Amino acid sequence: MLKILGPRPADSGFCDGVSRRNFLRIGSLGMGGLALPGLLQAEDASGLRSASRQHKAIIMIFLPGGPSHQDMFDLKEDAPSEIRGEFRPISTSVPGIRICEHLPLIARQAHRYSIIRSIVGAEDRHDAITCHTGRHPRNQPPGGWPAFGSCLSKVMGPGDPSMPAFLGLAPKMGHVPWADNGRAGFLGAAHAPFEINKGGGQEDMVLNGVTLDRLADRRTLLSSLDGFRRAVDQSGAMDGLDAYNQQAFGILTSSRLVEALDLKKEDPRIVERYGKGDPRNRDDGGPKLMEHFLMARRLVEAGARCVTLAFSRWDHHGDNFGALRQDLPLLDRGLSALLTDLHERGLEKDVTVVVWGEFGRTPTINKDGGRDHWPRVSCALVAGGGLHHGQVIGSTDRLGGEAASRPVQFGEIHATLYQALGLDVNKVTLPDLTGRPQFLVDNGIQPMRELTGSAT
């Protein structure tokens, strides 16, 4: 693996007691795993590399722990106080749509997104698998279901040949499944996400002298890249590698990915728009990294097909409203900045954004002022992608505990995301480990006509 070490934060302790640096983990180079070379070879074998390189992409914002739907996008004004909670709804840019008072920036952009209030089919388990795959974790084929980004890596490849197709920004967390950037499943390691903020073994190769906080120094970067190339050449490590490995080496030492991650190359006014969060982990959850919203935009603009990130921690069994008073304004700022950024750069029709968690929260507030797990209904926000927006899809009952109209499966949202990318879920298949063709979503699942304007 090729790494670029990141700066050691002031508080770098993790729950496992290990103090370590963040770094960029950029795929294998043929010493075992052959991720990127395998991808290149697979693309050539399938003819996908000559396919259209439309600049279409997905950004998935995962809210680890299960966000409280009735305190964000589905407030119950007429419910009893033990259900209703402490927050007031406010009007948005779309008449009739009201959301939480702590999301005022997002409220001004309601015409740019759709709220789905009636997602069903979740399970009471803390992980991101269903959000990544659109399928139940039970009854998986050998190797497991591949994540959305892995499917895009296989079918479409990157939007730019010097960029990975699938990148994951989720940082290390105490509860490991929340930090899941997505798994390649039966598609294999060639289509696993390039993970930006996670550790690896000592056998990985390190780009000496280049850290994420020094990327602005172009001279240092180029010098280090040249030195790295010379060291590899002198070691003879490249001699036995085939053309795909040598091509992968060229891609991995390209500066395109590194520049996309270097926020010092961004307009300072744009950086300021996204704001600053809190890099510390909260309990077993993730930090509040505002820069990841901006980094996701820069990565898809540079050619990534799918970028996933995990923001903060939303498992509030106690002090639900105190925690949300801190987190909702940060989510509001980061998401609104991203939507504005995509619109200003003319990317709102090409980049689709989905925001969701693994399940919802209980209607009743418990004795500790929290809400517990509630897989029976949850919510999502979908923006961009050239879809029909400025609407609310589905509804819950008076208490927010059941889908009252238009229950929506996770797979329907995935099918919609695929269609936004130009993929027909009724035609595109991927071979599993037995060679059996598998469709992108479960049998019978179709894109949401409310968002696409058609049945397929």
116-136, pLDDT tens digit by residue?
Answer: 999 999 999 999 999 999 999
CB 178 within 8 A of CB 127: yes
Mean per-residue pLDDT, 355-374: 98
Residue 30 has pLDDT above 50, yes or no: no
- The domain spans of the chain are 56-197+276-452
Question: Could you give the CA distance from residue 260 to residue 266 in angstroms, rounded to a whole number?
Answer: 9
How far apart, in Å, do the first and last CA atoms of the chain sit?
Answer: 41
Residue 197: predicted pLDDT: 73
- The highest-confidence range among 29-33, 46-50, 174-178, 320-324, by mean pLDDT, is 320-324
Residue 314 has pLDDT above 90, yes or no: yes
Nearest to 384 by CA among 113, 124, 195, 120: 113
**What's the mean pLDDT when you consider all of the chain?**
83
State residue 412 phi and psi, 5-degree precision: -65, -35
Residue 24 has pLDDT above 80, yes or no: no
CA angle 236, 241, 243 (to 5 degrees): 130
Residue 52 has pLDDT above 50, yes or no: no
Mean per-residue pLDDT, 288-297: 96
Residue 248: predicted pLDDT: 56
Question: Could you give the CA distance from residue 440 to residue 420 in angstroms, rounded to a whole number?
Answer: 14
Question: Could you give the CA distance from residue 165 to residue 116 in angstroms, rounded to a whole number?
Answer: 27
Residue 50: predicted pLDDT: 38
> 51: pLDDT confidence band, cut at 50, 70 and 90?
very low
What fold characterizes domain 56-197+276-452? Alkaline Phosphatase, subunit A (3.40.720)
More confident residue, 379 or 48: 379
> 141: pLDDT confidence band, cut at 50, 70 and 90?
very high
pLDDT digits (tens, 9 = 90+) for 144-164: 999 999 999 999 988 887 888
Q: What's the predicted TM-score (pTM) here?
A: 0.82
